[in-house]
Amino acid sequence: MINSNFVKHQLGIKAFHHQELLEIALTHPDAIAESVGLTREQQKSRTLEYLGINRLGSNLFSQMVDDYLYLHCSHLGSATRILLKSDLVSPAILAQLTIKINLDQGSDLGKNYPLKPDFEQEKILAELFEAVVGAVYLEWDRDFEKTYNWLANQFLAERVNQILMDLFVEFVPAAEWDANFYPWFGSNHLTCPSQNSSSKSNSLSCS
């Protein structure tokens, strides 16, 4: 069952004047197909609306991730930025963002969603996040900068920092953290974690 007011609160958006856009984004095609109150033509039309707003959000998110990494992480080098983007736009990360702000609890994903395998659930959640990005962009009259600032402040900054920390902890032996990586952290505006700390309790920053 869609709960638009809950979703607006989770997104940090007080007013959503074009409510129909949010409802489109929050209603998965599986739920549309289950709606007995719609004719087949109406179901087809609403599914196309969802797919359109999802595609818009997907393209926007990809572009905004590029812009964010270029503006805030250029000192990390192009290879690192490519790695960061591949993680940020992955279904796994998008699904995590969806769950973190409980978008799934305010949307209609269809009756069979809980029965689907994990990879299908992940795909549905990722598409939900992208569709919501598209709805926000249209709500704000296609204001790219406003949508970018919202996305960067609400999601990207924290997620990029966490990915950087996870990568560092995964690929650099703990014994080498303090001994060899102070110069690297300093040159990249990052804070070196201590050997007794876990990635969950530390934050790396691009800028």
The pLDDT assigned to 175 comes to 59
Structural domains of the chain sorted by starting position, each given as residue range(s) with its CATH number in brackets: 4-201 (1.10.1520.10)
Q: What is the 3-state secondary structure (H, E, C) of 123-167?
A: HHHHHHHHHHHHHHHHHCCCCHHHHHHHHHHHHHHHHHHHHHHHH
* Structure tokens that stand for 16 in this block: 């959503």
CB 3 within 8 A of CB 27: no
The pLDDT assigned to 200 comes to 44
Report phi then psi at 27, rounded to 5: -115, 105
In order along its 207 residues, the chain shows pLDDT tens digits of: 899 999 999 999 988 999 999 999 999 999 999 998 999 999 999 999 999 999 999 999 999 999 999 998 887 788 888 988 999 999 999 999 999 999 999 999 999 999 999 999 999 999 999 999 999 999 999 999 999 999 999 999 888 877 877 776 676 666 555 545 555 555 555 555 554 444 444 444 555
* CA gap 85, 62 in Å, rounded: 8
In this prediction the pTM is: 0.82
Side chain identity, residue 150:
W
* Block residue for tokens 């790695």: 83
